[in-house]
């Protein structure tokens, strides 16, 4: 669809966030259109997680405007329009939650019979290649399996916007690729909008429509091939060591 006819999913204007007197985000302006997959990159401490939390209404802007589907973030979240996969999902190691229990958490608010919830949860798990693990203890799964289960929890309620904070941390390179392929396939199928924080700059450019660099300010945004270039990453990450681009 032509961009100009596409509805705006996320609108950020002149956003400032201060925490304890420190400016974390400064004058961020950004529009994300419905159905886009956007990668957010930038150095640690650059404010990426803070940015996602602002979109979730967990952090209030000091100044500026944030709209999710033309609503204030808190309203969008209340209406279950937003799915979130936090940077760290902490279930206690000794927790006896099964993988299925974790996915069911994503449906807690739905007024559906238990059997229907289980059916939907299992369908989503199948789709993500973790259906056979439904009865396993979540804490016994590998990092990659846990992330697929967590992703299933975030999408099982069919949100319109999915926010993923470093979803492939601890996952090997082939695992990263298949994770991003899954995200892209889901977007193509369901048409939802995805914003994901990532350091996999050598991989994600194949899967995203737009890339954004955040280091307090929004530095670059646009086509991933244009943004995720070594010379730009050097500037944004303030280092000479930039990740290799995987060409295969
Ligand atoms: N709750 C908080 N209290 C104080 N400082 C915070 C808080 N959350 C984030 N910060 C600070 O905001 C900055 C950006 O953090 P964060 O958004 O987590 O960055 P990133 O996700 O890009 O690594 C850091 O300097 C961090 O110390
Ligand atoms: Mg972070």
Q: Is 20 in the pocket of ligand 1 (CB under 6 A)?
A: yes
Count of domains for the chain: 2
Q: Reduced to 3 states, what is the DSSP secondary structure of residue 199?
A: coil
Regarding whether 76 and 167 lie in a shared domain, the answer is yes
pLDDT(248) > 50 = no
Regarding whether 196 and 94 lie in a shared domain, the answer is no
Regarding whether 130 and 74 lie in a shared domain, the answer is no
Dig out the tokens for 4 from the structure: 């100009």
**Start-end of H helices in the chain:** 48-55, 73-78, 99-104, 114-127, 143-155, 173-190, 201-204, 224-227, 230-237
**Domain limit, last residue, from 133, 158, 183:** 158
Regarding whether 247 and 186 lie in a shared domain, the answer is yes
Write the CB contacts of 225 (distance below 8 Å, at least 6 apart in sequence).
205
Determine the structural domain holding residue 109 and report its residue range: 89-158
Contact call for residues 193 and 162 (beta carbons, < 8 A): yes
Phi and psi torsions of 141, nearest 5°: -80, 160
**Domain limit, last residue, from 139, 158, 177:** 158
Regarding whether 117 and 75 lie in a shared domain, the answer is no
How confident is the prediction for the chain on average, in pLDDT? Answer: 88
Regarding whether 115 and 2 lie in a shared domain, the answer is no
Ligand 1 centroid–CA 126 distance in Å is 36
Regarding whether 170 and 71 lie in a shared domain, the answer is yes
Q: Is 160 in the pocket of ligand 1 (CB under 6 A)?
A: no
Regarding whether 139 and 191 lie in a shared domain, the answer is no
pLDDT, one tens digit per residue, over 83-112 is 999 887 666 666 789 999 999 999 988 899
Task: Please compute the mean of the pLDDT values over residues 9-21 and round it to a whole number.
Answer: 96
Sheet holding 193-197, edge to edge: 82-85, 161-165, 193-197, 37-41, 210-215, 217-222
pLDDT, one tens digit per residue, over 235-246 is 777 766 555 555
Task: Please compute the mean of the pLDDT values over residues 161-177 and round it to a whole number.
Answer: 86
* Nearest alpha carbon, ligand 1 atom 25: 45
Ligand whose nearest atom lies closest to the CA of 50 = 1
Regarding whether 170 and 148 lie in a shared domain, the answer is no
Contact call for residues 150 and 102 (beta carbons, < 8 A): yes
Strand partners, 165: 197
Sheet holding 22-33, edge to edge: 22-33, 8-19, 63-68
The model's pTM is 0.89
Ligand 1 centroid–CA 47 distance in Å is 6
């Amino acid at each position: 669809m032509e961009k100009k006819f596409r509805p705006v999913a996320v609108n950020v204007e002149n956003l400032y966030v201060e925490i304890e007197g420190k400016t974390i985000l400064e004058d961020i302006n950004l529009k994300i259109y419905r159905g886009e997959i956007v990668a957010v990159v930038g150095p640690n401490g650059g404010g990426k997680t803070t940015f996602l939390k602002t979109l979730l209404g967990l952090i209030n802007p000091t100044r500026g405007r944030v709209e999710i589907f033309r609503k204030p973030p808190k309203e969008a979240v209340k209406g279950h329009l937003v799915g979130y996969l936090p940077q760290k999902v902490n279930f206690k190691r000794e927790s006896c939650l099964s993988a299925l229990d974790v996915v069911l958490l994503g449906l807690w608010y739905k007024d559906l019979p238990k059997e229907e919830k289980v059916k939907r949860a299992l369908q989503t798990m199948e789709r993500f290649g973790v259906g056979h693990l439904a009865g396993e203890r979540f804490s016994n799964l590998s990092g990659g399996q846990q992330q697929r289960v967590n992703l299933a929890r975030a999408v099982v309620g069919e949100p319109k916007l999915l926010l993923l904070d470093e979803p492939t941390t601890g996952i090997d390179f082939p695992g990263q690729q298949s994770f991003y392929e899954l995200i892209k396939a889901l977007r193509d199928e369901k048409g939802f909008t995805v914003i994901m924080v990532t350091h996999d700059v050598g991989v994600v450019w194949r899967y995203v429509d737009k890339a954004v660099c955040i280091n307090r300010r929004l530095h670059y945004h646009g086509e991933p091939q244009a943004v995720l270039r070594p010379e730009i990453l050097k500037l944004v990450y303030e280092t000479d060591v930039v990740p290799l681009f995987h060409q295969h």
